[in-house]
Chains A and B, each alone.
Chain A
């Protein structure tokens, strides 16, 4: 019989949401996660719009489930996620998830993503986006990034640039993330591999809109990640 995620499992799970200028998109994301019964650590990455106000509006509705931290200035998705991973330790979580806050990930996938952690099947999970759902330019950039992750970090995964990941507290304590920008996705995979953390890939739904399209891994970002990967070799 398949394991069903319980309320206790959800209570022991914290979702880290880095948010940069997501005022128009973040509210449904937060509230969908809260409705599912999960806790959240939201890190406002020095947004110049009213993202923080929007987050606080949601916090009023779910005061116990939402914890908010705010970077004074924009430092990139990597630093925001690192801050979230550090902040989450204050709440003694068992499972930690990180998700994008722009609405491209569905809260409905949370149960599936933490399931391998709860059942002990894996200590880290990456949510894999089906390639067929991805627009061509993204697909191409991701294929390059998967190849680069294979060359530089010697790990073969089907989606190296996913922002949807989950790990146990033990695994979180083992890994060390230094990337400040989008390199974090590849670095996360490298750390899991280097520390021999058992990991699983779980297929997730990805919702692409023109707005989410504007962010994330395009060819320019892919090139920047390549430069950082080369730098990290030294």
Chain B
């Protein structure tokens, strides 16, 4: 058995516990916890039983198990980047609103300047 067969399940358990803890503190949505838990379970399964990935791969018409894992990781990374992009975009818009509002409510007068 390879070293990664031990390391990945440990990382997975830590990650799942971390996500559940964040959910309990109200920092994550349930969907996020479920999706990431599924992801980490798959990571553990693939690292303990690498041959399982080949079976999954053949379901999608991919011959090698490793190719399947790499494609899966790409899909997840792409999704994460896209999601982050939307979050940043929304935050930028909110920030613009706040900065605008603050400026509009505080016309700068000559008295302000003297202070």
Residues of chain A touching chain B, judged by Cβ–Cβ distance below 8 Å, are: 43, 46, 52, 56, 59-60, 63, 67-73, 75, 79, 82-83, 86-87, 180
Q: Which residues of A contact B102 (CB under 8 A)?
A: 71-72
When C-beta atoms are compared, the residue in chain A nearest to B100 turns out to be A83
The contact of B107 among A46, A67, A73, by CB within 8 Å, is A67
Q: Which residues of A contact B31 (CB under 8 A)?
A: none
B110, A60: Cβ atoms under 8 Å?
A: yes
Residues of chain B touching chain A, judged by Cβ–Cβ distance below 8 Å, are: 92, 95-96, 99-100, 102-104, 106-108, 110, 113
Q: Which residues of A contact B110 (CB under 8 A)?
A: 56, 59-60, 63
The contact of A87 among B95, B99, B104, by CB within 8 Å, is B104
What's the dominant secondary structure at chain B's contact region?
A: helix
Point out which of B95, B107, B108, B110 has the most chain A C-beta atoms below 10 A from its C-beta. Answer: B108
Q: Which residues of A contact B96 (CB under 8 A)?
A: 75, 79, 180
A70, B108: Cβ atoms under 8 Å?
A: yes
A72, B107: Cβ atoms under 8 Å?
A: no
Give me the 10 closest cross-chain CB pairs, A-B, nearest first: A68-B108, A69-B103, A56-B113, A83-B100, A79-B96, A71-B103, A71-B99, A83-B103, A75-B96, A75-B99
The contact of B100 among A56, A59, A71, by CB within 8 Å, is A71
- Chain B nearest CB: distance from A89 CB in Å? 10
